[in-house]
């Protein structure tokens, strides 16, 4: 997993913050309260969920607003990008996962899901739980402060368990188990709980043995007491059934009158059962419908009377419709008489204005085009959309220019980034090729090449070969020493010294190849090898001189062929030409074989270092290749966007020229077209104004002539107005208007009466329709109740009230009879009532009651007998002391059994923990300690060369170059924190299940000096080649040191502490 971006909507004091984390290593720098620890907690919350509300320091409710939660963009091991999203109010804070494809400017969502936390941890976190994440991948200053606060004895255990997954919890559990076991029992203890109770039990049994005389009599009484107790149990089991039968018979006798009344009411109810077909709702509806029928009949009578009266009034009104038809015409002529006079004056003014309009129109058409006339102007039909189109073309042309410039600038920037990425990728590939060439070019002897292709396989093969050579050399040296002792004692010690020196040289060489030796181990191995060869040569020379003075039969045997076969088998797994290597390594004299072994050791060490370097460079080269591919794709997208923009601009130009041709305009710019539109609009305005004035002139002439003709025609039709028209036309028109007003009033009254008549007719129709609906509802009601007509319904309705009274009384009787009884008891009661009369029930009740009383008497006798037996038992026990002793014995045995069971559980748990720890120490801890020792050696610059553990004791020791072991209790605080950090980093590296989990380090280097700070930064830079490393700090010198040692790290500076955030911000 690689984190790419954190998007915080609201978390603690952070709100609206976006932080880019796209890099193998990231350094987040910020002042105090800038939000580093808050961002640290945000990442942990997105990965593992929100803390509970009773943990406000970890839950981090938003302080400055925003939605509680946010998003985390990350990339899995296959390069697929995802967005992990959590919000406290959405789905209970569950994780929402979206698979996306990220480009330079856009992100496309392909699919969404809501995985369970276990599935999320398994698929993307390598099975890492929140507790494991806190202990392995999230290291904070709080843990280092705990290191400084521990005592010397606790410090060793704390550092020891830092190399364990869940080491703190295991240590605490083991400590609690041991403490509780010691409190329960110790083999020779006196104050432990089980020890004390065993002593108490022994003492109690001793006192009880002294009181064993009356045991036999006691046992007989005890058996009799048990028999009586069994009889009492049988009587007590039978007593509830007897009492139940007595109660049931008594209840049957008591409620018999009620039961008889219930039967009587049931028969009466069966006689009027038809009334139950009429429900209360049906009765209510019947009453309402009858009431509505009476109201409708009364309303119909009132409407018919009003209709007759209005018809009489309407017949008395007469209207002259012919005269009313000319009313508007007469009024119009009266009003128009004054207007006609004004029209005559207006004709003179319009004639002068028409001449001025023609001259202005000619000037405007000449400015548009020399050959333009009124026809071309009228053909140019311009609309608002045409103007908007021209303005849009002008804006599109301007935006196209700016867009082209912007796309060109973006393309150049992306091309430059692609070149830089390609150069970095080439450098990484060249470095990787050199490392691979160095790894592949190493040869053992001549043409013989090494076979292992990984550093771990190379070390394993060398260790096997080294062990075989050491055994072969020791056996040969022992044989030579034996021959020397048989001939001359002076050569024996030389052979032993040579064997020891050779073994030490081989061991130091193997340690140097494995990476766990002290500085200068390779030189020391060479010196010891030379010493071994010199001693072997001197011993051989003395042996030859001694051989000249003794018979040949005294020579010892050569090294066993099995040892040589093991050497040859180990060489076959190490080099491609094992025969040539075996000939050199097993050659005589010994100094030649020693030189060959030294050559092979040096070559194997170089080969392992080259392979390890190649393995470290691989992930970095893969990351650079993915970045180069992303930038190359982005450059291709920019080129396609630029080409598409150019094509769109050319298409827009062609569309513009076509549009100008369609409206008969020459080729011009949008600005020129807008100016032509303004001139054409002015010319059209002048033309329209001229046409309007010409039309007004013609209309005025026409109106004057029409007025005169209509006035003569209208007055000719009416005698009174016609007489006055030649002398006083206005007076004639007013007389005509007065008569028209009188006729209009009569017409309005007639219309009002007609309208009221029509409304009354509609109301009568509605009333009749309502009466029909009411009749249908009544028929439907009677039919629904199962009656043939209304009369039958009304007759049955009388019995309904009695039916309700009977039902109420039956319900009361049912409650009194059945109260508190089950269905089974009710069946038994019904059987008694139906099968017995009153006297029989009384006799049955008396008989059952007497049997129950006899049963109770027998029970009392047994209780008295049991009491007497108990008194006899107490008398046998005599004093209170025996009872106390028996009680103490039973209590002590019970307590011992409980404590023993608890002790067994604790012992098994402790054994399981020890077995698990032993397995872990044998299988994983050696590799972990070697890696942690390598980190400690590098971080202390060789001051300490190895990390070891104390046998059978959970503690840590450091080895110095002069082979001294320093207990962890003697370390300074800064060194203890450094060792703790090395153990945590080694455990994170060794845990292969979550090899890609990022490391989060928060303010860890405050107690490190400058040299160790730079050493830690270099180590983290190497770790960032295989996993992402995110570091948080508020110290400027720490940031400078990290930047100097990790030049490729992404540097992010968080904004300083502030009271509120006004809007979203972006960092990185």
For residue 553, the model assigns a pLDDT of 41
Q: Which two tokens stand for residue 939?
A: 């971080």
Neighbour-count burial of 587, counting CB atoms closer than 10 A to its CB (0-12 exposed, 13-18 middle, 19+ buried):
middle
Beta carbons of 24 and 1020 less than 8 angstroms apart: no
Beta carbons of 1008 and 1035 less than 8 angstroms apart: no
Instruction: DSSP for 348-364, please give it.
Output: HHHHHHHHHHHHHHHHH
Closest CA to 391 of 677, 682, 674, 678: 674
Least confident of 432-446, 817-831, 954-968: 432-446
Q: Which two tokens stand for residue 830?
A: 């019904």
Enumerate the domain spans of the chain: 215-272+801-877, 280-325+729-797, 327-382+669-716, 448-616
- Report which listed range, 106-115, 578-587, 655-664, 847-856, is most confident: 847-856
Within 8 A by CB and 6+ apart from 634, the residues are 103, 104, 414, 418
Within 8 A by CB and 6+ apart from 721, the residues are 714, 715, 732, 733, 735, 736
d(CA 786, CA 793): 9
- Give residue 493's Cα distance to chain centre: 74
Instruction: DSSP for 384-396, please give it.
Output: HHHHHHHHHHHHH
DSSP letter for 671, please. Answer: H
12 phi, psi to nearest 5 deg: 60, -130
For residue 411, the model assigns a pLDDT of 82
- Give residue 1053's Cα distance to chain centre: 28
For residue 193, the model assigns a pLDDT of 82
For residue 62, the model assigns a pLDDT of 92
Q: How confident is the model at residue 1057 (pLDDT cuts 50, 70, 90)?
A: very low
Residue whose pair of structure tokens reads 């008569």 in the numeric block: 739
Q: CA-based diameter of the chain, in Å?
A: 189
For residue 544, the model assigns a pLDDT of 56
More confident call, 924 vs 180: 180
Percent of the chain with pLDDT strictly greater than 90: 5
For residue 70, the model assigns a pLDDT of 95
For residue 525, the model assigns a pLDDT of 54
Q: How confident is the model at residue 1061 (pLDDT cuts 50, 70, 90)?
A: very low
For residue 151, the model assigns a pLDDT of 43
pTM, 2 dp = 0.37
Least confident of 54-63, 580-589, 912-921: 912-921
State the alpha helices, DSSP H only, in 108-214: 117-124, 130-136, 141-149, 152-161, 167-184, 193-209
Least confident of 421-425, 739-743, 877-881: 877-881
- State pLDDT tens for residues 154-206: 444 544 554 455 555 666 777 788 888 888 888 877 788 888 888 888 888 87
For residue 72, the model assigns a pLDDT of 93
Identify whether 393 is preceded by a cis peptide bond (ω within 30 of 0): no
3-class SS string, 933-979: HHHHHHHCCCCCCEEEEECCEEEEEEECCCCCEEEHHHCCHHHHHHH
- State mean pLDDT over 695-708: 81
Number of helices (H) and strands (E), helices first, in the chain? 32, 15
- State mean pLDDT over 2-24: 91
pLDDT at 260 over 80: yes
Least confident of 251-265, 655-669, 902-916: 655-669
- State pLDDT tens for residues 793-802: 776 777 777 7
pLDDT at 682 over 70: yes
Beta carbons of 778 and 288 less than 8 angstroms apart: no
**Residue 108 bridge partners (DSSP):** 101
- State mean pLDDT over 605-630: 79
d(CA 936, CA 929): 10
633-658 burial string, b = 16+ CB within 10 Å, else e? ebbebbeeebeebeeebeeeeeebee
pLDDT at 523 over 70: no
Length of the chain in terms of residues written: 1068
For residue 87, the model assigns a pLDDT of 94
- State pLDDT tens for residues 940-990: 888 888 887 755 556 677 888 888 888 777 888 788 888 878 877 887 787
Strands, sheet with 25-29, edge to edge from the N-terminal-most edge strand: 138-140, 999-1002, 1029-1033, 25-29, 1050-1053
- State mean pLDDT over 394-398: 81
- State mean pLDDT over 1062-1068: 57
pLDDT at 758 over 80: yes
Residue whose pair of structure tokens reads 């219309």 in the numeric block: 751
Q: Which two tokens stand for residue 574?
A: 């190490």
Neighbour-count burial of 329, counting CB atoms closer than 10 A to its CB (0-12 exposed, 13-18 middle, 19+ buried):
middle
- State mean pLDDT over 435-452: 67
**Residue 69 bridge partners (DSSP):** 10, 87
For residue 155, the model assigns a pLDDT of 42
3-class SS string, 543-579: HHHHHHCCCHHHCCCCCCHHHHHHHHHHHHHHECCHH
Phi-psi region of 933 (alpha: psi -120 to 50; beta: other; left: phi over 0): alpha
Q: How confident is the model at residue 517 (pLDDT cuts 50, 70, 90)?
A: very low
Beta carbons of 933 and 950 less than 8 angstroms apart: no
- State mean pLDDT over 897-912: 84
More confident call, 871 vs 517: 871
For residue 154, the model assigns a pLDDT of 46
Q: Which two tokens stand for residue 695?
A: 């039309």
d(CA 693, CA 954): 115
Percent of the chain with pLDDT strictly greater than 70: 80
Q: Which two tokens stand for residue 996?
A: 């890609």
- Report which listed range, 89-98, 392-401, 488-497, is most confident: 89-98
82 phi, psi to nearest 5 deg: -135, 160
239 phi, psi to nearest 5 deg: -60, -45
For residue 88, the model assigns a pLDDT of 92
Least confident of 385-399, 514-528, 875-889, 932-946: 514-528
- State mean pLDDT over 822-833: 80
d(CA 279, CA 1013): 96
- State pLDDT tens for residues 294-307: 888 888 888 888 88
pLDDT at 811 over 50: yes
pLDDT at 488 over 70: no
For residue 307, the model assigns a pLDDT of 84
d(CA 707, CA 33): 95
Beta carbons of 526 and 598 less than 8 angstroms apart: yes
Quote the mean pLDDT of the chain. Answer: 77
More confident call, 149 vs 1067: 1067
Within a 10 A sphere around the Cβ of 425, how many other Cβ atoms?
A: 18
pLDDT at 104 over 70: no
For residue 749, the model assigns a pLDDT of 85
668 phi, psi to nearest 5 deg: -160, 170
């Amino acid at each position: 997993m690689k984190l790419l971006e954190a998007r915080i909507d609201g978390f603690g004091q952070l709100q609206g913050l976006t932080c880019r984390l796209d890099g193998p290593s990231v350094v987040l720098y910020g002042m105090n309260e800038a939000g580093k620890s808050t961002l640290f907690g945000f990442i942990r919350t997105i990965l593992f969920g929100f803390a509970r509300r009773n943990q406000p320091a970890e839950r981090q409710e938003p302080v400055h607003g925003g939605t509680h939660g946010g998003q985390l963009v990350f990339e899995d091991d296959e390069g697929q990008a995802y967005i992990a999203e959590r919000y406290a109010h959405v789905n209970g804070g569950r994780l929402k996962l979206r698979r996306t494809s990220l480009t330079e400017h856009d992100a496309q969502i392909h699919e969404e899901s809501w995985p369970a936390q276990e599935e999320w941890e398994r698929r993307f976190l390598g099975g890492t739980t929140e507790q494991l994440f806190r202990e392995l991948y999230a290291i904070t200053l709080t843990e280092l402060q705990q290191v400084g606060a521990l005592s010397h004895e606790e410090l060793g255990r704390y550092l020891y368990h830092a190399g364990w997954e869940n080491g703190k919890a295991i240590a605490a559990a083991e400590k609690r188990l041991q403490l509780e076991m010691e409190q329960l029992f110790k083999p020779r203890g006196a104050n432990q709980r089980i020890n004390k109770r065993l002593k108490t039990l022994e003492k109690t049994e001793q006192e009880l043995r002294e009181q064993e005389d009356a045991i036999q009599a006691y046992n007989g009484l005890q058996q009799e007491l048990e028999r009586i107790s069994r009889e009492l149990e049988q009587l007590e089991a039978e007593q509830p059934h007897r009492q139940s039968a007595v109660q049931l018979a008594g209840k049957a006798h008591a409620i018999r009158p009620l039961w008889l009344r219930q039967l009587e009411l049931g028969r009466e109810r069966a006689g009027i059962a038809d009334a139950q077909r009429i429900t209360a709702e049906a009765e209510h509806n019947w009453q309402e419908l009858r009431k509505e029928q009476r109201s409708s009949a009364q309303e119909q009578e009132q409407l018919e009377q009003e209709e007759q009266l209005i018809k009489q009034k309407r017949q008395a009104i007469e209207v002259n419709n012919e005269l009313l038809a000319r009313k508007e015409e007469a009024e119009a002529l009266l009003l128009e008489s004054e207007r006609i006079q004004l029209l005559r004056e207006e004709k003179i003014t319009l004639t002068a204005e028409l001449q001025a309009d023609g001259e202005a129109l000619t000037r405007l058409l000449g400015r548009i085009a020399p050959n333009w006339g009124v026809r071309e102007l009228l053909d140019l039909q311009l609309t608002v959309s045409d103007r908007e189109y021209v303005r849009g073309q002008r804006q599109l042309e301007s935006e196209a220019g700016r867009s082209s410039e912007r796309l060109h600038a973006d393309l150049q920037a992306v091309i430059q980034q692609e070149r830089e990425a390609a150069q970095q990728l080439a450098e990484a590939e060249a470095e990787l090729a050199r490392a691979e060439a160095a790894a592949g070019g190493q040869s053992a002897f001549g043409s013989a090449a090494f076979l292992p292709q990984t550093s771990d396989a190379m070390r394993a093969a060398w260790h096997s070969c080294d062990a075989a050579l050491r055994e072969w050399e020791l056996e040969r040296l022992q044989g030579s020493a034996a021959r020397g002792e048989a001939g001359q004692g002076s050569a024996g010690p030389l052979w032993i010294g040579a064997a020891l020196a050779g073994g030490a040289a081989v061991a130091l060489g193997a340690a140097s190849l494995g990476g766990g030796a002290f500085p200068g181990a390779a030189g020391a191995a060479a010196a010891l090898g030379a010493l071994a060869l010199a001693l072997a040569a001197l011993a051989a020379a003395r042996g030859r001189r001694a051989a000249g003075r003794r018979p040949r039969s005294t020579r010892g045997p050569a090294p066993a062929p099995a040892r040589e076969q093991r050497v040859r088998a180990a060489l076959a797994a190490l080099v491609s030409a094992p025969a040539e290597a075996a000939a050199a390594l097993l050659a005589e004299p010994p100094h030649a074989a020693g030189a060959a072994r030294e050559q092979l050791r040096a070559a194997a060490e170089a080969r392992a270092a080259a392979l390890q370097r190649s393995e470290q460079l691989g992930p970095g080269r893969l990351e650079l290749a993915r970045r180069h591919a992303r930038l190359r794709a982005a450059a291709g997208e920019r080129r396609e966007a630029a080409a598409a923009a150019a094509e769109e601009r050319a298409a827009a130009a062609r569309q513009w020229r076509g549009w100008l041709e369609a409206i008969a305009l020459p080729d011009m710019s949008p600005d020129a077209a807008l100016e032509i539109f303004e001139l054409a609009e002015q010319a059209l305005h002048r033309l329209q104004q001229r046409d309007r004035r010409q039309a007004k002139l013609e209309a005025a002439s026409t109106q004057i002539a029409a007025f005169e003709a209509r006035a003569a025609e209208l007055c000719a039709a009416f005698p009174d107005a016609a007489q006055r028209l030649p002398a006083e036309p206005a007076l004639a028109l007013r007389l005509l208007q007065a008569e028209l007003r009188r006729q209009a009033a009569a017409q309005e009254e007639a219309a009002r009466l007609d309208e009221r008549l029509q409304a009354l007719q509609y109301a009568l129709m509605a009333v009749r329709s309502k009466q029909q609906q009411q009749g249908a509802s009544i028929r439907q009601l009677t039919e629904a109740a199962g009656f043939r007509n209304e009369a039958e319904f009304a007759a049955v309705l009388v019995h309904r009230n009695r039916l309700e009274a009977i039902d109420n009384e039956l319900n009361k009787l049912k409650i009194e009879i059945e109260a508190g009884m089950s269905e089974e008891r009710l069946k038994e009661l019904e059987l008694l009532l139906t099968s017995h009369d009153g006297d029989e029930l009384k006799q049955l009740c008396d008989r059952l009651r007497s049997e129950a009383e006899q049963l109770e008497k027998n029970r009392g006798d047994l209780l008295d007998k049991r009491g007497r037996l108990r008194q006899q038992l107490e008398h046998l026990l005599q004093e209170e002391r025996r009872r106390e002793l028996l009680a103490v014995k039973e209590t002590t045995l019970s307590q011992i059994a409980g404590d023993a069971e608890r002790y067994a559980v604790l012992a098994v748990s402790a054994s399981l923990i020890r077995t698990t720890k032993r397995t872990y120490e044998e299988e994983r801890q050696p590799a972990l300690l070697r890696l942690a020792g390598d980190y400690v050696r590098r971080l202390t610059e060789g001051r300490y060369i190895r990390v070891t553990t104390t046998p059978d004791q959970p503690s840590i020791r450091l080895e110095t170059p002069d082979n001294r072991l320093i207990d962890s209790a003697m370390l300074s605080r800064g060194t203890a924190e450094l060792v703790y950090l090395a153990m945590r980093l080694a455990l994170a590296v060794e845990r292969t299940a979550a090899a890609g989990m990022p490391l989060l380090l928060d303010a860890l280097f405050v107690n490190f000096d400058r040299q160790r700070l730079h050493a830690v930064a270099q180590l983290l830079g190497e770790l960032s080649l295989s996993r992402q490393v995110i570091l948080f700090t508020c110290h400027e010198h720490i940031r400078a040191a990290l930047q100097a040692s990790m030049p490729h790290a992404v540097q992010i500076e968080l904004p300083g502490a502030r009271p509120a955030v006004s809007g979203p911000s972006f960092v990185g």
